[in-house]
Amino acid sequence: MKHITHTPGPWVLQKTPSRIEVKQDALHTLNFVLNDEANARLIAASPELLDALLLIVDTGFHVKDEYGHVHWAISEKQRAIARAAIAKAME
């Protein structure tokens, strides 16, 4: 897997009268038109979403059942989907 080089979060969504801004700091700001709020919200959440996917791939979330047996809480298929999304983000 490639080294992660994105601007780290948290990113904040701010609405102004004329646009929507997604900011990490003064140097890292993305501007959206007002009718593109759904995309702005998704982009603002992307650092946390990537962190969640990395956690899924790295740990797989083991859980114990009532008998003390350890099971994967996330299937290999679900982990493969997470790996594919991470790879797409890092192309």
For residue 25, the model assigns a pLDDT of 78
DSSP string, 23-51: EEETTEEEEE-GGGHHHHHHHHHHHHHHH
Q: Is pLDDT at 2 greater than 60 in this prediction? A: no
Does the CA dihedral 40-45-21-16 come out positive or negative? Answer: positive
Give 3-62 pLDDT, tens digit per residue.
Answer: 667 777 888 888 888 888 888 877 788 888 888 888 888 888 988 999 889 888 887 667
Confidence of residue 84 (pLDDT cuts 50, 70, 90): very high
Quote the radius of gyration of the chain (alpha carbons, Å).
17
Q: Is pLDDT at 83 greater than 80 in this prediction? A: yes
For residue 3, the model assigns a pLDDT of 65
| Burial grade of 82 (CB within 10 A; 0-12, 13-18, 19 or more) | buried
